[in-house]
Chains A and B, each alone.
Chain A
Amino acid sequence: MERYICKAADTIRSKVVALVRRRGLSKSLLAAIVVIVVIIVAAAVLMMQGGGGAVKEVKVGVVLPLSGKLAETGADLKRGLEFAVEEINKAGGIKSLGGAKIVLVFGDSAGKPETGAAEAERLITEEKVVAMLGSYQSAVTKTVSEVCERYHVPMLNPESTSPTLTARGYKWFFRTTPHDEMFAKQHVDFVNWLNKKYGNQIKKIAIIHEDTEWGTATAKAWQKYFSEAGYQIVKVVSYHAATITSMDSEIDTLKAANPDLVLVASYVQDAILFVQTAKQRDFNPKAILAQDAGFINPSYVKQVGKDGFYIFSREVFNWDLGQKIPKLKEVNDRYKAKYGVDLNGNSARDYTGAWVLYYALEEAGKKASPANLEEFRKAIRDALASLNIPGDKLIMPWKGVKFDSNGQNTLGQGIVVQMMDDGKYHTVFPEEFATAEPVFPMPKWSERG
Chain B
Amino acid sequence: MLQFIKEGLRDRNGQYFAIVAAVMLVAPLIFWKLDLPFAANAMLLCLMFSIMAMAWNLLEGYTGQLSFGHAVFFGVGAYTTMILMLYYRVTPWVGIFVGGLVAALVGLALGVPLFRLRSHWFALATIAVGEIFKLIFISWDYVGGSAGLQSPIVPEEQKLYYLQYAGSYVYIYLALGLLGLELLIMYPLVKSRIGYYLQAIREDEDAAMSLGINPFKYKMVAMFFSALFTGIGGGIYTVRFRFVDPFAVFDLISVSVYITIAGILGGIYSFIGPIVGSFVFVPISEYVRVYIVSRFPRFYGLHVFVLGVILLAISLLAPEGIMGWLEKKGYLRKREETGEVRKE
Chain A residues near B (Cβ < 8 Å)? 1, 4, 7-8, 11-12, 15, 25, 44, 47, 66-67, 71, 74-75, 78, 105-108, 110, 112-115, 117-119, 121-122, 124-126, 138-139, 142-143, 146-147, 149-151, 162, 164, 168, 211-214, 216-217, 240
Tell me if B331 is interfacial: C-beta within 8 Å of chain A: yes
Knowing A12-B19, A121-B41, A122-B290 touch, does A143 contact B300 (C-beta < 8 A)?
no
Binds A, one of B100-108, B200-208, B243-251, B271-279: B243-251
Chain B residues near A (Cβ < 8 Å)? 2, 5-6, 9-10, 12, 15, 18-19, 34-38, 41, 138-139, 145-148, 150, 152-153, 166-168, 237, 240-243, 245, 247-248, 251, 254, 289-290, 293-294, 297, 300-301, 303-304, 331
Q: How far is the CA of A122 from the CA of B167 in the complex (A)?
A: 9
Q: What number of residue pairs across chains A and B have CB atoms under 8 A from each other?
A: 129
Is A146 in contact with B242, judged by CB distance below 8 angstroms?
yes
Q: How far is the CA of A159 from the CA of B243 in the complex (A)?
A: 20
Q: List 20 A-B contacts (CB under 8 A).
A: A4-B5, A4-B6, A8-B18, A47-B34, A67-B300, A71-B300, A105-B294, A108-B289, A108-B300, A112-B248, A114-B248, A118-B37, A118-B41, A142-B148, A142-B150, A168-B152, A212-B138, A212-B145, A216-B146, A217-B147
> In the complex, which residue of chain A has the Cβ closest to the Cβ of B22?
A12
Contacts of A78 in B (CB 8 A): 297, 300
> In the complex, which residue of chain B has the Cβ closest to the Cβ of A74?
B300
Q: How far is the CA of A213 from the CA of B145 in the complex (A)?
A: 7
Is B145 in contact with A216, judged by CB distance below 8 angstroms?
yes
Given contacts A1-B2, A118-B41, 19 further A-B contacts (CB under 8 A): A8-B18, A44-B34, A66-B301, A78-B300, A105-B294, A106-B293, A108-B289, A110-B254, A113-B241, A115-B289, A118-B38, A121-B41, A125-B35, A143-B242, A146-B153, A146-B242, A213-B145, A213-B147, A216-B145
Q: How far is the CA of A142 from the CA of B144 in the complex (A)?
A: 14
Partner of A121, one of B148, B167, B300, B331: B167
Contacts of A66 in B (CB 8 A): 293, 300-301
Knowing A8-B9, A66-B300 touch, does A146 contact B145 (C-beta < 8 A)?
no
Is A11 in contact with B9, judged by CB distance below 8 angstroms?
yes
Is B153 in contact with A150, judged by CB distance below 8 angstroms?
yes
Give the distance to chain A from B187, nearest Cβ to Cβ, in Å: 22
Give the distance to chain B from A114, nearest Cβ to Cβ, in Å: 5
> In the complex, which residue of chain A has the Cβ closest to the Cβ of B241?
A114
> In the complex, which residue of chain B has the Cβ closest to the Cβ of A128?
B35
Partner of A25, one of B2, B145, B166, B331: B331
Contacts of A168 in B (CB 8 A): 150, 152
Q: How far is the CA of A15 from the CA of B6 in the complex (A)?
A: 15
Contacts of A142 in B (CB 8 A): 148, 150, 243
Is A71 in contact with B301, judged by CB distance below 8 angstroms?
yes
Give the distance to chain A from B90, nearest Cβ to Cβ, in Å: 21
> In the complex, which residue of chain B has the Cβ closest to the Cβ of A119?
B290
Partner of B12, one of A15, A211, A240: A15
Contacts of A4 in B (CB 8 A): 2, 5-6
Knowing A44-B34, A67-B300, A121-B37 touch, does A151 contact B243 (C-beta < 8 A)?
no
Contacts of B289 in A (CB 8 A): 67, 108, 110, 115
